[in-house]
Structure 1
Amino acid sequence: MTQPPRPGPARPITVGICTRDRQSSLLRCLRSLRHAEGLIERVFVADDASAVPVEPAVRAELGDDLPVTVLRNEAPIGPTTGRNRIAREAATPFILYMDDDAALLPGSAVHDALAVLRADPSVAAVAFAQADEAGALYPAGAQPSAATEPALVRTFIGFAHLVRADALRAAGGYREILQILGEERELTLRLLDAGYRVVYLPHAAVAHLADPSGRDPRRFLHLTVRNDALSGLLNEPLPVALGMLVPRLLRYFPMRRHWGGEDPGGFGRIVRAVAQAAPRVRAERRAVRWSTLRTWMALKESPPYRGPEGGA
């Protein structure tokens, strides 16, 4: 006898939060989920080897309001690996990823992003605008784009984004070799090559209240330069990847000057890190099409997004 298909989740969104040693920020993030009431099926918290396990505090905070699963790692694995683990566990069509120091605000931001994804199957992800706790938008330079109306963009900011789960999985998920910093831009390029688009909604604001815990400027500098080089080697046509390798590595010097800190031997460590990653890069490399790269470059202008019927 043929069994009827099991019904899917009643609510369309899984929330995924990666955290490490930021318990107070995490709890604020969890409290803010009430602003998406009725949309969230389950919350996954990836505890990346926090010194004090977060599960007791998480369960006390959420109570019975939302089903929560804490995925505890005893050794750090990084946000990209944590997000991929959440994607494998999620049973809903959409995943709302949030940093532990992000917080939803009153209003329709998540509803508006969900409406875009439901209406347009070519959109793989929706980027939110960064705001303070009162909802005031940060300057244009801190946003995915300077656009003031819905726009097509070539990256989103990982602090908060709503993604189509099957598109994320089909693209291979986040590149775990990158760990953190630049992983959103790299993923967007691969999604574009697969025929998907990323939309920025500048009026859909989510608070990003940067927690200083774990933020090391030197590590930020090293990973930014390293990951820019690795992303090119992983994805770009070989002439571009090789031609841009040295200029990308040399970005270290103006970035270090802008930072103003001391970093003896830093450039050498970055070069060695790229060289050490070479075997894995060769194994994982999948060059996008030249046409994808041209489209990617055109997206620098953030053309308007007009929805599935209006083109764009």
Structure 2
Amino acid sequence: MTDIADSRVTTVIITLDGGDTLTRTVRWHQTPVILIDNGSADGAAETAARENPHVELIRLASNVGAPARNLGVRLARTPYVAFADDDSWWAPGALDRAVAILDEHPDIAVVAARVLVGDDGRTDPLCAEMAESPLPERPDVPGRAIVGFTCFSVVVRRDAFLDAGGFDDVIFFNGEEERLALDLLAAGWDLVYAPDVVARHDPPQDRDRADRWRLGLRNQVLTATMRRSWPMVARNVWQAAREPQGRRALLTVVPRLPAALRGRRPVPPRVERRMAAVGK
């Protein structure tokens, strides 16, 4: 690991029964790792910590979802935190580049990486969307201003993350980044996509895409309820209600709706304008 990244970045990983994937990827991380185990039963997290002295293991009694990352960030003692899942890792030199960007630009809270997927290293389609963002390009950063990100492939400014409240248990998991991104933008922070910062991702092929799609749709509606204008909430609900799977997702919104309403803090108009500029 490099002296710069080692002293400036902690990698926080959350896992749930990560199995061989976790024990394989964790040794490729180049900075100290805080590994948050979300109540696993397979023993992989213990093996990963035992075999890799740069890994600090924190075991939780049950699965608390994305908010487990908040604990890792609070425990970190570095100004920046890189996130990863048990099937992702950072390319050599990537965190040094992210540190340089964050050190040079104190108004940036999040650096999103270019993600290379699988053994063949194909670029994740979401990265193409970020690279083509209609938001103005920052001449001082080799990348684009963005309004969202994928959690496992970002480096965050620790204090900005904590001030924004981290991830919340209303969303729990899948799409948890959106509310955090909105709160960071509302607080005046910038988020950037930096294609020369590279993360690798080797996702499993047996994921239930339909279930994940419904969960993501549920969380879009909940996030809109917490942070967007009422017309945007209505648009999200209408789009979901237009098809049967979307209506099934809306039913799962109902139990979490009271908590979402209690946490409602709409973003200012300037953030809504920025979201509209990218069609969100």
Measured against the shorter chain, the TM-score band is 0.7 to 0.9
Mapping of residues 96-175 of structure 1, within 5 Å: 96-106=82-92, 108-132=93-117, 136-141=121-126, 143=128, 145-147=130-132, 150-175=143-168
Q: Which residue of 2 aligns with 1:309?
A: none
Letter in 2 for 1:104: W
Q: Which of 23, 42, 46 is residue 52 of structure 1 equivalent to?
A: 42
Higher gyration radius (CA):
1
TM-score (normalised: structure 2): 0.86
Q: Which residue of 1 aligns with 2:64?
A: 77
SS at match of 1:182: coil
Q: CA deviation at 1:116?
A: 0.9
User: 1:54 & 1:24 partners in 2: Cα distance?
Assistant: 7
Is the contact made by 1:181 and 1:224 (CA closer than 8 Å) also made in structure 2?
A: yes
User: Unaligned stretches of 5+ in structure 1?
Assistant: 1-8, 35-39, 257-265, 302-312
Q: Which residue of 2 aligns with 1:304?
A: none
Q: Which residue of 1 aligns with 2:177?
A: 184
Q: Which residue of 2 aligns with 1:6?
A: none
User: 2:129 & 2:183 partners in 1: Cα distance?
Assistant: 17
Letter in 2 for 1:250: A
2:8 counterpart of 1:12: yes
Residue by residue over 1:14-68, the C-alpha shift from the partner in whole angstroms, topping out at 9 and shown as x without a partner, is 110011112221122211113xxxxx3x3211111212233431233213xx2x3
Residue by residue over 1:72-108, the C-alpha shift from the partner in whole angstroms, topping out at 9 and shown as x without a partner, is 1222111x111111122222111111011012223x2
Residue by residue over 1:260-285, the C-alpha shift from the partner in whole angstroms, topping out at 9 and shown as x without a partner, is xxxxxx734x2232121121012111
Q: Which residue of 1 aligns with 2:202?
A: 209
Letter in 1 for 2:70: N
User: 2:240 & 2:37 partners in 1: Cα distance?
Assistant: 32
2:257 counterpart of 1:278: yes
Q: CA RMSD in A?
A: 2.5
User: 2:39 & 2:73 partners in 1: Cα distance?
Assistant: 19
User: 1:71 & 1:188 partners in 2: Cα distance?
Assistant: 26
Q: Which residue of 2 aligns with 1:305?
A: none
Q: CA deviation at 1:201?
A: 1.1
2:17 counterpart of 1:21: yes
User: 2:63 & 2:229 partners in 1: Cα distance?
Assistant: 33
2:247 counterpart of 1:267: yes
> Structure 2 vs 1, CA of residues 271 and 59 (structure 1 numbering), >3 Å: closer, same or farther?
closer
Residue by residue over 1:170-207, the C-alpha shift from the partner in whole angstroms, topping out at 9 and shown as x without a partner, is 11111221122211122111110100011111232211
> Structure 2 vs 1, CA of residues 45 and 230 (structure 1 numbering), >3 Å: closer, same or farther?
same
Q: Which of 224, 231, 234 is residue 232 of structure 1 equivalent to?
A: 224
Is the contact made by 2:9 and 2:95 (CA closer than 8 Å) also made in structure 1?
A: no
> Structure 2 vs 1, CA of residues 85 and 251 (structure 1 numbering), >3 Å: closer, same or farther?
farther
Q: CA deviation at 1:252?
A: 5.3
Letter in 2 for 1:105: A
Q: Which residue of 1 aligns with 2:137?
A: none
Letter in 2 for 1:14: T
Q: Which of 222, 233, 237 is residue 246 of structure 1 equivalent to?
A: 237
SS at match of 2:77: coil
User: Unaligned stretches of 5+ in structure 2?
Assistant: 134-141
Q: Which residue of 1 aligns with 2:138?
A: none
User: 1:251 & 1:185 partners in 2: Cα distance?
Assistant: 23
User: 2:125 & 2:257 partners in 1: Cα distance?
Assistant: 36
% identical aligned pairs? 27
Letter in 2 for 1:72: R
